[in-house]
Amino acid sequence: MDGPLSNAQTRDVEALLHPYTNAVQHRKVGPHVIERGEGVYVFDDSGKRYIEGMAGLWCAGLGFGDSELIDAAKEQMGKLPYYHLFGGKSFEPAIELAEKIKELAPMPVSKVIYQSSGSEANDTQVKLAWYYNNARGKPEKKKIISRVRGYHGVTIVSGSLTGLPYNHKRFDLPVDRILHTGTPHFWREGRDGETEAEFSARLAAELDEMIIREGPDTVAAFIAEPVMGAGGVLVPPADYFPAIQAVLERHDVLCIDDEVICGFGRTGNWFGAETFGMKPTSISMAKQLTAAYAPLSAVAINQDMADAIEAQSGEVGTFGHGFTYGGHPLGCAVGVKTIEIYQRRDIVGHVRRMAPIFRAKLDALAAHPLVGEARASGLMGGLELSPDPAKKAAFCEPGKVGAYAADELLKRGVISRAIGDTLAFCPPMVITEAEIEELFAPVEGALDAAHAWAKAEGRFG
């Protein structure tokens, strides 16, 4: 990737605007062009093989090139390549997938509504919460509480829910009625002498105070990821969600469970809510819903919300929400086959068997002088880098050391992701023990290189 840009790189620079990319720097270095995938590996246009340590964007749960998913997509394309669900129309894959979601969900689900992305799912969640409270005669109950460092998408509303500065800066976000409460990252946010249980109780008390300050009659919902993915793979303490749940129930606040990353086995259960004791009133899902082989997302709602929404649509004359590609036949057919594969191949059991091996590799790196904390849940984890781990210090220019370490890993044949100064790992859920060994074998060398570079550049000051 050094030297003059290739033809494909030059064409890319002149034609594409890339998400989450420094466009000025990109014009100089060009893209990393990926040509094909096979199992847990991808290959670039020079033929170099990489282990995909992030499952793409947390989503390729079954890896690349799964013949069953490809065949399911081909069959659906030949039968009904497109149709919609507007005006009471339907088709079998949309019905069957909704039934499967209802069967697997960690809450009693009444209805499922489809979208194309996690952002659209969470945007829909906000609209449904507003619609629901209008339907039950509570028109002032509209504020949504998210969390600092939470990630819920990039539409105007879902981007406002996201609690990360670079998603707000220069976009005039967040919009009104969106609030942010504290982050359940005990290593970074816990006070001296505070236990995890006390930390969780404090965050719950802060949420309670926020709701009382705003007025419980104005707060509609609280939204949370079981594990905060793009915030840095932040795993909450065991006491956190039970403490939060009590506050929500006391104030009649909906609990929106964002399972876009955690759903369908990633944490060692079908849904992250089961892993961490959440009691959702609605669920957002995407990514591993189709193993990323087709764009699709879904929102599942409980009976109370479904009843209110259906009654309201009767009064209005229609339910005025939906997307042209929401419930696309291709996505639904692939989703049905994906869940069938997860069940038949016992992917949840496989994640549970691989998780201790994955966690042990991360824990072994916790002693590295550049690592402040190693954390994991199921097959997602992170290494938080620090100039002084004993003091939980942050680098003077956040993000630079993490990016350098990720680039060193890339040179060594591993695709990871730098989230600030956290190295994130979220491999395909089909990864084997031997492939986990291969994934982590170059990490220490990459950390050594990043440590030496950071010292030479004076980034420990």
CATH number at residue 397: 3.90.1150.10
Any domain includes 1: no
Pair (171, 298) in one structural domain: yes
**440: nearest Cα among 333, 338, 361, 336:** 361
Stated pTM of the model? 0.96
How much is the pLDDT for 157?
Answer: 98
Any domain includes 182: yes
Pair (73, 42) in one structural domain: no
Ranges of beta strands (E only) in 302-433 are 371-377, 380-385, 414-415, 417-419, 422-425
Strand partners, 2: none
Q: What's the domain count of the chain?
A: 2
| Phi–psi pair at 90, nearest 5 degrees | -155, 175
Segment 201-207 long-range contacts (CB within 8 Å, at least 24 positions apart): 201/239, 201/243, 203/240, 203/243, 203/244, 204/240, 204/243, 204/244, 204/246, 204/247, 206/181, 206/182, 207/145, 207/181, 207/182, 207/244, 207/247
Pair (157, 244) in one structural domain: yes
Any domain includes 23: no
Pair (313, 387) in one structural domain: no
How much is the pLDDT for 1?
Answer: 52
Q: What is the CATH number of the domain that holds 195?
A: 3.40.640.10
Any domain includes 433: yes
How much is the pLDDT for 3?
Answer: 73
How much is the pLDDT for 459?
Answer: 82
Pair (280, 173) in one structural domain: yes
Pair (210, 97) in one structural domain: yes
Q: What's the domain range around 437? A: 32-65+346-456
**216: nearest Cα among 138, 132, 162:** 138
**342: nearest Cα among 271, 434, 424, 425:** 271
Pair (285, 408) in one structural domain: no
How much is the pLDDT for 198?
Answer: 98
Any domain includes 10: no
N-terminal to C-terminal alpha carbon distance within the chain: 31
The single residue listed with the structure tokens 């919902």 is 221
How much is the pLDDT for 57?
Answer: 97
Pairing assessment for the beta strands 219-224 and 178-181 based on DSSP bridges: unpaired
Any domain includes 13: no
Pair (336, 351) in one structural domain: no
Pair (272, 355) in one structural domain: no
pLDDT in single tens digits along all 461 residues of the chain: 567 899 999 999 999 999 999 999 999 999 999 999 999 999 999 999 999 999 999 999 999 999 999 999 999 999 999 999 999 999 999 999 999 999 999 999 999 999 999 999 999 999 999 999 999 999 999 999 999 999 999 999 999 999 999 999 999 999 999 999 999 999 999 999 999 999 999 999 999 999 999 999 999 999 999 999 999 999 999 999 999 999 999 999 999 999 999 999 999 999 999 999 999 999 999 999 999 999 999 999 999 999 999 999 999 999 999 999 999 999 999 999 999 999 999 999 999 999 999 999 999 999 999 999 999 999 999 999 999 999 999 998 999 999 999 999 999 999 999 999 999 999 999 999 999 999 999 999 999 999 999 999 888 86
* 300 in Cβ contact with 127 (< 8 Å): no
How much is the pLDDT for 460?
Answer: 81
Of 323, 344, 365, the domain-final residue: 344
Of 344, 365, 395, the domain-final residue: 344
* 283 in Cβ contact with 271 (< 8 Å): yes
Pair (316, 211) in one structural domain: yes
In one letter, which amino acid is 304? D
Of 344, 368, 394, the domain-final residue: 344
Pair (190, 203) in one structural domain: yes
Pair (356, 295) in one structural domain: no
